[in-house]
């Protein structure tokens, strides 16, 4: 009687081959979905203004960006975190004309909970929004399903004036990176002018 071991062995190899093929097909499908996923980050609103700190008796400059993160198609995605860009010129670049200002500007970067409309309606909120400093990144783990949009607000408060209350820089560039769970990232970069205080007083 012939041994059935070679038959069992051949069957086992066939089953393993089918499992490997199924896994490869599944991974290919996931990879295709990720490749087809469309995530965008769009600015919806912004606020830039000088701010006077009565306790420290000094002026700072505030910039807040209200951003919509949209999953336009493909699988659900998770916004893992928003980080400061550390490569190239870095997160914050002060400019005077086309030249980078050598002086380092002190700043706080933070997540903003109130909407910009709420802040405009109640300026007292400015005293509390900049209490937390984000560090290198803000962990979010924000699930955004297919077709959904989520709104986040990012703010930065700069020591943008010298002892004579003159702007240290004319323009400041900010660079954030939005990092998603599927390995993709989105660079959000904006520039805003530092408003002279005499111009702000005449508004």
pLDDT in tens, 181-198: 988 899 999 999 999 997
Q: Is residue 19 domain-shared with residue 109, that is, in the same domain?
A: no
Q: Is residue 28 domain-shared with residue 49, that is, in the same domain?
A: no
Comparing 55 with 20, which gets the higher pLDDT? Answer: 55
Q: Is residue 135 domain-shared with residue 69, that is, in the same domain?
A: yes
DSSP letters of the chain?
---SHHHHHHHHHHHHHHHHHHHHHHHHHHHHHHHH-EEEEEEEEEEEEEEEETTTTEEEEEEEEEEEEEEEESS-EEEEEEEE--STT-SEEEEETTEEPSSPPPEEEEE--S-HHHHHH-GGGHHHHTSS--TTEEEEEEEE-TT-EEEEEEEEEE--B-TTS-BS-SEEEEEEEEEETTS-EEEEEEEEE---HHHHHT-
Q: Is residue 4 domain-shared with residue 83, that is, in the same domain?
A: no
Number of domains in the chain: 2
CATH number of the domain bearing residue 56: 2.60.40.10
Q: pLDDT of 77-124, one tens digit each?
A: 999 999 999 887 889 999 998 888 888 889 999 999 999 999 999 988
| Pick from 38-47, 61-70, 127-136: least confident | 127-136
pTM for the full predicted model: 0.78
Q: Is residue 95 domain-shared with residue 115, that is, in the same domain?
A: yes
pLDDT of residue 200: 53
Q: Structural domain of residue 17, as residue ranges?
A: 1-36
Q: Is residue 23 domain-shared with residue 75, that is, in the same domain?
A: no
pLDDT band, very low/low/confident/very high, at 129 (cuts 50, 70, 90): confident
| Pick from 51-55, 171-175, 199-203: least confident | 199-203
Q: Is residue 170 domain-shared with residue 183, that is, in the same domain?
A: yes
């Amino acid at each position: 009687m012939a041994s059935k071991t070679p038959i069992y062995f051949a069957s086992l190899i066939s089953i393993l081959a089918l499992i490997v093929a199924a896994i490869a097909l599944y991974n290919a499908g996931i990879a295709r979905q990720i490749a087809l996923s469309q995530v965008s980050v769009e600015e919806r609103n912004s606020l830039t203004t000088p701010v006077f700190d009565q306790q420290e008796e000094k002026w700072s400059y505030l910039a807040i960006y209200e951003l919509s993160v949209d999953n336009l198609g493909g699988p659900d995605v998770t916004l893992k975190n928003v980080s400061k860009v550390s490569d190239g010129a870095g997160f914050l670049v002060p400019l005077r004309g086309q030249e980078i200002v050598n002086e380092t500007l002190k700043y706080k970067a933070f997540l903003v909970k109130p909407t910009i409309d709420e802040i405009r309606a109640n300026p007292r909120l400015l005293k509390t929004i900049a209490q937390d400093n984000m560090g290198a990144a803000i962990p979010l783990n924000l699930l955004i399903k297919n077709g959904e949009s989520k709104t986040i607000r990012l703010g930065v408060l700069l020591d943008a004036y010298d002892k004579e209350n003159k702007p240290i820089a004319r323009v400041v560039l900010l660079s954030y990176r939005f990092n998603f769970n599927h390995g993709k990232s989105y660079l959000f970069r904006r520039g805003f002018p530092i408003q002279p205080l005499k111009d702000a007083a005449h508004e």
